[in-house]
Structure 1
Amino acid sequence: MPLYIVVYDIRVDKPTQKVHDFLKGYGKWVQYSTFESVLSTARFTGLRRRLRKLINLDAASGFIRCRAILWDRWRFWEWGHR
């Protein structure tokens, strides 16, 4: 299973705390807004789906980036403003 690096930057405090608390259930908190998670493809798909229901990034003005570290390639998923 790949190691996912999840990084977020949300400019509104309440949604930031919601995302932080949510991601604690999926992996290890390694820095202020960075988590590491070893996830199957199905669990990662579930994480993305639940994040979209949890927060409206357009209203919160932020982004969430997920990168998968695989043995032979990178997988990338990004949601929100740059």
Structure 2
Amino acid sequence: MANTAQARKRARQAVARNKHNASIRSMLRTSIKRVREAIDAGDQAAANEVFSKTSSIIDRVADKNIIHKNKAARHKSRLATAIKAMAA
């Protein structure tokens, strides 16, 4: 348990920040699943549209350091590759 007032405040802030970051990570995962669902459905137009929105979300989350920039790039690359493979 935190002994000083400062440590107690930092503990409270950590709990609030963790809750906020968890909701943002959840939003990220949901948007990635939406792209995957569009790809699995075989609808390339819908997949491209959803991918553009998801790409923006991925970049925003990476800018806030909730996920690493390399992880963001990896997600975007894999989704883009999957969409391009639909055309072939």
TM over 0.5: no
**TM class, shorter-length:** 0.3 to 0.5
- Higher relative contact order at CA 8 Å, sep ≥6: structure 1 or structure 2? 1
Q: Name the structure with the higher helix share.
A: 2
TM-score (norm 2): 0.39
